Amino acid sequence: MLPYGRQSIAESDVEAVTEVLRGDWLTKGPAVGAFESELARWTGGVPCVAVTSGTAALHVAYAAARVGPGDEVVTSPLTFVATAATAAMLGARVVFADVQPDTGNLDPGSAAALVTPRTRVVTAVDYAGHPADYDELRTVTDGAGALLMADAAHSIGSAYKGRPVGSLADLTTFSFFPTKTVTTAEGGAVAAADPERFLRAARFMNHGLIRDPAEQRHPGEGGWHQEVHTFGLNYRLPDVLCALGLSQLRRLRRFRARRAELVARYHLMLSDVPGLALPAQRAYVEPSWHLYPIRVRDGRRREVYDRMRAAGIGVQVNYLPAYLHPVFEDLGYRRGLCPVAEAYYAEELSLPLFPCLSDVQQERVAETLAGIMS
């Protein structure tokens, strides 16, 4: 089965991991700092803290934003459920705003209509690697006195109006799952320009521990002493995985270039196939394409999905609108809440896209799809 996404591991990655395994550090050591510093080069200098997954990054970022009971978080339903679930687990009420019909990104107009004095955060999702409309969303959050957050799990290396993802929002989260552009096997990161929010993120992902005597309530116990002032969790990304991530980041430009080349080829091969809508791209955006999301018209998505997979082509659907998961249904969310997102989901199909996808394999995907649609 040709997968819709997969990791691209080179010998340099293996050597980087092996070097750490032969050293003194497996958990939090020098490779963590090196990885965070290299990642900050891609965020325009905004500092980053590495964590154990993209989901952990969302949890840490919401905690750094002080999201809690009584707060509201406005976000897109067209995302993996963790974008909303992590806010709900902190006690917030999740408010789903609709998406733009072409990009699948959060619609600033829909978000603006839903913010209230209780809105703590508006979280955009860079669907498929295409950055959301951050200037318009910033106007929404500034008017509401809320923070702007970017779920950039798909979009590392992307730019919006010449500015890198990671510098566009108050908090940005990344994911390094194997299907993403860069992988640490499992892993994620949070970028935060504000020093206080960055410190809260760094502490939350490490149990809330405070080791500096100048900040402790009861210093003087001894060199071993550490304190917890606010609860946190263990979301530390270990040295061995950061070594893999650092090696991967050094190839990010090549990964992005190959994905862009594959997207251009899909555009060319599929532009005349009836019954399809191809992904949109704003003129002012430089995406890092994580997905190639087509829309299959005329109610044929299920048929095309089944026939493509029967042909050995592992297409995927991204995503069931988050509020249609039973956990949100049980909280009172209902179908029809975001009709544009539901319409997008009903037609969406992700074609295989990853750097080591060969031209021959891609041609097979396009030819098989064209044959089904003819």
Of 246, 273, 296, which marks where a domain is finished?
246
Q: Supply the CATH number for residue 268's domain.
A: 3.90.1150.10
- 6 within a domain of the structure (yes/no): no
- 265 and 198 housed in the same domain: no
Cis peptide before 319 (omega within 30 of 0): yes
DSSP characters over 96-112: E--B-TTT--B-HHHHH
Q: Is 161 a catalytic residue?
A: no
- 256 and 120 housed in the same domain: no
Residues 327-362: tens digit of each pLDDT: 999 999 999 999 999 999 999 999 999 999 999 999
- 17 within a domain of the structure (yes/no): yes
- 171 and 292 housed in the same domain: no
- 179 and 225 housed in the same domain: yes
Residues 57-90: tens digit of each pLDDT: 999 999 999 999 999 999 999 999 999 999 999 9
Q: What is the pLDDT of residue 243?
A: 98
Going from the C-alpha of 295 to that of each of 287, 288, 322, the distances in angstroms are 19, 19, 19
- Tell me what percent of the chain is helix, strand and coil, each rounded to the nearest 5: 40, 15, 45
Name the helix (H) or strand (E) containing 87. Answer: helix 82-89
What total of structural domains would you count in the chain? 2
Of 189, 224, 246, which marks where a domain is finished?
246
- 38 within a domain of the structure (yes/no): yes
- Phi/psi class of residue 71: alpha, beta or left (left: φ > 0; alpha: ψ in -120 to 50)? beta
- 115 and 190 housed in the same domain: yes
Residues 96-118: tens digit of each pLDDT: 999 999 999 999 999 999 999 99
- 86 within a domain of the structure (yes/no): yes
User: What pTM does this model have?
Assistant: 0.97
Cis peptide before 292 (omega within 30 of 0): no
- 4 within a domain of the structure (yes/no): no
Token pair recorded at residue 240: 């061995």
Strands 171-175 and 188-192: antiparallel
- 216 and 258 housed in the same domain: no
Of 246, 281, 308, which marks where a domain is finished?
246
- 116 and 183 housed in the same domain: yes
Q: Supply the CATH number for residue 239's domain.
A: 3.40.640.10
- 205 and 258 housed in the same domain: no
What is the C-alpha to C-alpha distance for residues 232 and 218, in angstroms, rounded to an integer?
19
Q: Is 233 helix (H, G, I), strand (E, B) or coil?
A: coil
Number of H helices, E strands in the chain: 13, 15
- 24 and 116 housed in the same domain: yes
- 263 within a domain of the structure (yes/no): yes
What is the C-alpha to C-alpha distance for residues 186 and 168, in angstroms, rounded to an integer?
25
What is the C-alpha to C-alpha distance for residues 276 and 279, in angstroms, rounded to an integer?
10
CA 70 remoteness from chain centre: 26
Query: CA angle, corner 249, sides to 243 and 251, nearest 5?
Result: 120
- 351 and 211 housed in the same domain: no
Residues 227-281: tens digit of each pLDDT: 999 999 999 999 999 999 999 999 999 999 999 999 999 999 999 999 999 999 9
CB 147 within 8 A of CB 172: no
The catalytically annotated residue of 59, 120, 180, 256 is: 180
| Neighbour count for residue 211 (Cβ, 10 Å) | 12
- 231 and 274 housed in the same domain: no
Q: Domain range holding 331?
A: 252-373
Token pair recorded at residue 255: 């990964």
Residues 134-190: tens digit of each pLDDT: 999 999 999 999 999 999 999 999 999 999 999 999 999 999 999 999 999 999 999
- 178 and 269 housed in the same domain: no
